[in-house]
Chains A and B, each alone.
Chain A
Amino acid sequence: MVLLFFFALLHNCDLLYYICCVSFPLFALLHAAVTTLRAAVLIQRWYRQYVARTETRRRYTWHIFQSIEYSGEQAQIKLYNFLGYLMDNFTPSSNERNLISHIFRENEVCRDAEWERYFCYKNIEVPEIYSGPHLTFPLTVEQTVGLVEAFRNKKQLHSRYVLQLLLETWKQLRMLPNINRISTCQSKEITICGDLHGQLEDLLLIFYKNGMPCLEKPYVFNGDFVDRGKDSIEILIILFSFLLVYPSDVYLNRGNHEDHIVNLRYGFTKEVLTKYKMHGKRILKLLQKIFSWLPLATVIDQKVLVLHGGISDVTDLSILARLDRHNYVSALRPPKKRHKSSAGMSIDSEMDEDILAANKLCQRRISLAYPKAFGERESFQNRSLQDFSDRIKGNAVDELESRMRKQSIYNSGTISSEKNITASVSSDSINSDNPNDEWKQVLDLLWSDPMPQDGCTPNEVRGGGCYWGPDITEDFLNKHNLQLIIRSHECKQDGYEFCHNRKVLTLFSASNYYDVGSNRGAYVKLGPDLVPYLIQYQASSMTRELTVRQSVGRTERSALKVLREQLFAHKSDLVCAFKKFDSENTGLVSVTDWATAVESVMFLGLPWRMLRCQLVTSKIIDGMIDYNEWFSELNIKGSNTDHIDQSLLETLYRHRSTLETIFRIVDTDNSGFITIEDFRQTWKLLSVYLKMEITDEAISDLAVTIDSNQDGSIDIDEFMEAFRLTDKKSRLERGRSMFMGTASDLTKLEGDPNI
């Protein structure tokens, strides 16, 4: 009670001390009270600083991962553009052209019967000792649930059933329109999920929290089911199974990763070939067709649009609704030429070598041709896919074909809304007939990102699609009488993020995407009121046990590791940049110059000064950094790499993903091996792409490192392994998660001879 009184007096110091002077024992108590208060405030203040610092670290860690991820995507597209350039500019007989031509070639087999023969699963035997699930068709709910359980228990589905399932899926998807239209009638809540990226744990978690898809529980999956995570094929199998069992309650939208070109780089191709050694190639081929037949978007109650990437200033749902979506096997290249059969159904036409030769001129025009030779890095960046669509001119043949195409849509009885029918009947619509306008529609839909400012600019960070602003959203929603766009495509810390005045919702369902603890995943439930209700989660029991500080620290460490690798891989360019600031060749640069130089080489837009103390551990004297010492600090040595030329080594590190992608393209029979000769050709290709001199001798040195059995062929995996920088495989590079026990899972499967 007494203390109460004194606490109340504390704000008035004079009175306080007067009383203190009068009453000594009370003074002691008062002193204690004051100290306590001071300590409390101190601790609280300190705590707030700690929170702010942790938040800062989290933010720049995020920034690091994201900028490296996007620059990887950009590199992929550049590579693709480069290959297109080669296709157009090398003579037909040259080896280089043959090497990569098959990636641009039309699907070889065309008539349905031939396809069926190629994909026939019937002669694939399932041996007695196979312990995975068995499927019978038509698929039942029990079997589907059984599949989920089996995958939870790390089983693998036999290739026979995979092919059978995929064939059924293909048949089903062909019946679907480009834009699915669904409703929340009967008080159904629709669940919408974003990117999953092969992370089975997250899908299982969603099913656990929300229940599996069924009649009362419709789902929309918004693309990017594959790549990066280790269970992409399992996720596809589950989603396709549910699609078959509940065709009016499960909706799949295509994402930019449902694309075989992208899969080459980001791990899905590799995953399938590893898990299905005998039949992987066929599975991948069938998936190519399936991906092209995935619907492009879903509209809920005519008010909410769900699509993977986003929109642009020219996005038009009526164009999207009536184009032939399966023409876009890869969204990264323009549609192929089509021939119509008399039945009016559009089918692929077989192109043997003669036709190919005759069409070469046309092909050249519509492929991704560079108008001039390679510029510097800047013009590479500017060479976005938008440029090409402008350059391409339609011709009379295109006009005729597009009219025939519209006709065939009409005849084939595809479900289309009234709007579509009226649009296609009129022959006056000009721009929409241009196949490359249509291509841009698809590209923008799959690759675009929202931005805070008004307007619409090409998305040069990713290399495809646009950045679109709030004004574009507003116009688009008004034009189509919609109220909300739900999209995915970008990883978000909380699993979701609203923007554009809450008219655009980004939804991301792969938690721990960059690293354990990096982000949560989320899904949305939409009832008849169309108010988004968001549920967040984070997979992996490891996360719960880490405190916030530990998980931020861990993610931060791995981001910095990746960043150091990138810096090391750019050593030559960095040294050049430093020398510009160090005219007297002292080997020292100021911190400011260091930051400027690094950004000028890396183009990542990161807070380099803030990161400096983490990246440069050597002492700084008088504010100057010894950059040679810094490089020796960063220097990471591989096991057998001493005999290899330093700059070649650096190229290897920097362009690992590109190199691997090219190798896989070259490996036409997907055996995992390429010949020494092809290996040499590949390096020559790369040297042109990188504008670097790579001598034959240097290439031989590289080959020797790997070809241990001297049989004249190189094991791609072994080669890439030899030049791996880190012990833990970087998620961004290899498309595998860092902590989910990958290696042991795969060995389990590799031992199974029956798959």
Chain B
Amino acid sequence: MGKDAARAEWDNPMQFVLACVSYAVGLGNVWRFPYLCQMHGGGGFLIPYLLMLVLLGVPLFYMELAIGQKMRLGSIGAWRAISPYLGGVGLASVVTSMYLCLYYNVINAWSFWYLFHSFQSVLPWAECPVNSNLTGHVEECERATPTQYFFYRETLDISGSIEENGGIHMGQALCLLLAWMIVYLFIVKGVKSTGKVVYFTATFPYLVLIIYLIRGVTLHGAINGVKYMFTPKMEQLANPTTWINAATQIFFSLGLGFGSLIAFASYNQYNNNFEKQAIVVSMVNSSTSIFASIVTFSIYGFKATFNYESCLERVRLLLLNTFDLAEDTISLENVNHWIAELNRTHPEQFASLGGRLETCDLEAELDTAVEGTGLAFIVYSEAIKNMPVSQLWSVLYFIMLLLLGMGSMLGNVIAVITPLSDLKFISRYMSTKTLNGLVCLFCLLLGLGFTTRSGNYWFTMFNDYGATFSLLFIVLIEVITVCYIYGIKRFEKDVEDMLGHRLNWYWKIMLAGVSPILLITLFIFYIVNYIQGGTPTYQAWNKELGKSVVTEYPPYAQAFIGLLLASSVCCIPLTALYTYCKKRNLASGKRERTVSTVSA
């Protein structure tokens, strides 16, 4: 309790709320939620999503804030205070956050790369570069699209598989250095500097989203995308994967289990009303997801319509050139009518067209659902290059991505630094500034591994396996610890002490009953899915074909995946064992001493 006087605090509760919003509203809201919405029946997906928010998201968010604010320590100290045997939960959170820190900033490095390349008269991903003897375009670019070529070749310089390593891409390394320097700048003075930065990182993305919404819905063909997204396909609700994905999305979007929320809340005043804030932040996060998906889908619709009309134009030209008709006989509207007509009147000549005649389908263009880095850096930049004044939209878009990513990075880094700075043996020897600098330097050096030629494959591995399974396990243990080991009654008393009123029946039922059951179901589903999935695979970029191919991970990579999963999960039982042994040694040591004094 004596640490209260020394601990830094947020200047006002608003900074805390904005920090939580900035952390929770991240890249997942922009690139994962729209994809899930599209995959699981459009408007109908909102039903499981909002239900899971109420049943799982808000109670767990509330619980983490309560723990942080009560214990006023980072995750390691807080969990050790709750239950000495389960201090490993905090350690597991720190390990998982460390993995996240390592690879997440690479996304910010890519955003910087794209941002800096937007300051050119022609966007570099708009056209294929010419080859060395100026006769045509680079073949890899011809087979793929210019945006894919720019991402895979010029940004990543990706190799053919995870086994083929290469040198470090200097541009990427520089951008990663910049990203880590900015993170350091934001956290160098602890919550004092972070508190001021979150005013900007939490609010500016909304400004850009609104500008993009206005631009997006006024684009030609945007309405196709929005209609496609919101048309509910209710039969998807019967699919259990829909519910599982909704729960997982809520879970990861709120950033539960990393220890960031505990760290943020530990800098609160003791009587801060976190109950209202928990509800507010969760609602803001979910509505941002829905808002961002409207923007994403209007841009999707624009891109799909553009590609569809380009396809029609190519078919029209092909027909005109093959049958030597005058230019104004075929227009974009009656292309399909003419195809049928020409097939009827000139069947042999039509047959000679063979495979060159493409079928243009707007639905198929809209169906190409993409998520993750593919959506953000390939699909979006393809849409942007076709907008008028594309440099401006590109700069705005990547600044938004940067702010979203930086806001989440702040939470990740604070989740690692707060518990470390609480440990006595570290804080005795170095100041917070030095500790922050060392953590940033360490993550930068390890993160350089992701800037090598095969770095993107390792990035995907970390992204898919580094945090998903361990987090589920961590949060499950958290809920069970708080409700059953620490006791829901003691928790109630602590909350009453802080807030002044007792726990509502809603919180009690959710925390003690519904959330643990849902978490156990999610956990079992993950394990079953993983086992059933067979050998883990990844998408490798094949430069001859100009597309990604599904490849299996080599054995050492699979072992590394296992190591990733085990390293954070094992912290919990190992720490419990260690504490048990230490307590036993202490107890037996005391007994020996008492025996010796008696005998003496």
Query: Real complex partners, A and B?
Result: no
Which B residues form the contact surface with A (CB < 8 A)? none
Which A residues form the contact surface with B (CB < 8 A)? none
